Amino acid sequence: MASSIVRSPLNPISHHVTCKPSPYDHRSRTTTAAAVTIHRPYPKQRRRRKVPVLACSLQSHNADDDHNVVGGRSKTELQRIPDDSPYDDVSKDPNNNTNMLPRPLSSTHSSDSVSHLRVAYQGVRGAYSESAAEKAYPYCEAVPCEQFETAFEAVERWLVDRAVLPIENSLGGSIHRNYDLLLRHRLHIVGEVKFAVRHCLMANHGVKLEDLKRVLSHPQALAQCEHTLTRLGLVREAVDDTAGAAKHVAFHKLNDTGAVASSTAAMIYGLNILAQDIQDDSDNVTRFLMLAREPIVPGTDKPFKTSIVFSLEEGPGVLFKALAVFALREINLTKIESRPLRKQLVGASDDNNNGYPKYFDYLFYVDFEASMADQNAQNALGHLREFSTYLRVLGSYPVDTIML
């Protein structure tokens, strides 16, 4: 039932990473932009190479579209923006204004004021990610994509304007795949959306609760409804996403199978809701990131959050020193996540470890409550850069304070 997609291999990160001088090291009192100029340790791409992009399109309800749970694919070919060029001037010619790209958005540009945007999300129509995209950009055209990586590539290659993708859930934890993709791609976090997840058990019209023998949904959704589904004696089967499960049940007119998905998915695919709010814990919230090609200019007029990623040399107390740069300045950390550097092992091998290295190298993702327009936050990152081997600001953006 899961769709297939050609995935690009994840580029390994070089262990010896050096940082160019950061604009945050300047102790100026003026407001600075959200992005730090850091050497990107990835191979350069050829300039203006045409690359096919896999992206989902909104298609009619037909057999070809429904053969896969998560929808069809369409190929689009366009010129790739050179990876080594700045976003604001592709031509690098100061006298040529024809290739100038949009300027960074200001934090005063609310999502309500940005209309006619194409916003990518992972899944099919009726997915929770679609609802999150519509909350982030109420007047947008939501564009479904088969995989998380497809959404990243769609933004980078100008197929869409933004992407809204999940990063963590209050019950299931972090979405590790998207943490890895944030590092691989050059998108900026420009906002966040917190969305309350409310699961429903649904089936085709005429099917009663006692008729069901099995239920389809995303593995995380099935886990979040474990007690309810166990009490009902239903066999659980995992598929790629919740809305895809509802679509599959509706298209194949299954009489002994239900789906766990949103009420929106039930409405779209014409299913009957047998039970609402079947999640085991009512405190089920997913946090989504809003991604764009350009950063926003951070402000101080509202609560801001900043997301960074860094790596450190191996040694006693090094992580303590890194986190102390925030504690010394009374900056609150809201999230810390570690991810291994792919194919990067540190520490000499010895006989006691059967020839294997003693240590693994890690990246640390940190969110903290401060705007990069705040001199205190700039000083903290300047301090951190003194002993980090790699540092990148992923975005400085307004905090979402409205729960839906």
Catalytic residues: 286, 288
H-type alpha helices, 201-241: 219-224, 226-232
Cα–Cα dist 229/216, whole Å: 11
Number of alpha carbons in the 13 Å side-chain half-sphere of residue 104? 21
Residue 53 tokens read as 């992009």
Show the beta-strand stretches assigned E in 109-209: 118-122, 141-145, 162-169, 173-174, 188-196, 200-203
CA 152 from centroid of its chain's CA atoms: 8
CA 29 from centroid of its chain's CA atoms: 32
Cα–Cα dist 259/237, whole Å: 10
Other C-beta atoms within 10 Å of 200: how many?
Answer: 24
Name the packing angle between helices 242-251 and 128-136 (round to 10°). 120
Torsion angle in degrees (nearest 10) through CA of 135, 139, 145, 150: -90
Which amino acid is it at 62? Answer: N
Q: Burial code of 238-263, b = ≥16 C-beta within 10 A, e = fewer?
A: ebbbbbbbbbbbbbeebeebbbbbbb
CA dist 269 → 36, 83, 157, 330 (Å): 45, 41, 31, 50
Q: Burial code of 374-400, b = ≥16 C-beta within 10 A, e = fewer?
A: bbebbbbbbbbbeebebbbbbbbbbeb
Question: 164 by DSSP, 3-state: which?
Answer: strand
Beta-carbon contacts of 123 under 8 Å, excluding residues fewer than 6 positions away, are: 70, 129, 130, 144, 145, 240, 241, 242, 243, 244
State the DSSP code for 291: E
Cα of first residue to Cα of last residue in the chain, in angstroms, is 30
